[in-house]
Homo-oligomer: A and B are copies of this chain.
Amino acid sequence: MPNREMTSERVRFLMTDYERGFIDFCGLKAVKAQWGRFQARVDITANHRQQDGFIHAGVMATMADHTAGYSAFTIVPEEMQILTIEFKINFLRPAFGDALVCRSQVIREGRQVIISESEVFDIRQGEEVPVAKAMVTLMAVPAKKLRDSANRSGEPTAG
């Protein structure tokens, strides 16, 4: 079993790396990173809601997927990237609070295939109510291989 800790430098890198592109656009923030675990948060605005005033399932799914991906990042060597192969998410009840918190953890540590679970909580007057749960199948791929594939067209990367 390898050293099950990350350097503080690696922690900082992952927390910064978490908040880019679509995730930054959606306002998701990294909260905490530990070996095999990752936590994130988003303060809810009108942009996150759907037609009924509830928080959109897509916000919860994006958060569950991305945070699961970063829980996988905590256990792989630094030259690896993480891709989502698939995920499934159950919505437990409508979310309508002021913020969401997501906690993900690795439940299967493979060298290539990693499985993580994410739980999403709706923050209502300071109380956490579970609103979604996801299982996410991830794949660790050498970063170099991924960059190459982005430069070609039509080529599957993972696998």
- Using CB atoms and an 8 Å cutoff, list the residues of chain A in contact with chain B: 17, 20-23, 25-26, 46-54, 56-59, 61-63, 65-66, 81, 83-94, 96, 107-115, 117, 124-125, 129-130, 133, 135, 137, 139, 146-147, 149-150, 153-159
Contact = CB atoms under 8 A, between A and B. Distances in A.
A128 to B, nearest CB: 11
A110 B86 CA distance: 14
B65 A58 contact: yes
Contacts of A139: 113, 159
A89 B135 CA distance: 9
B137 A93 contact: no
A49 B20 CA distance: 8
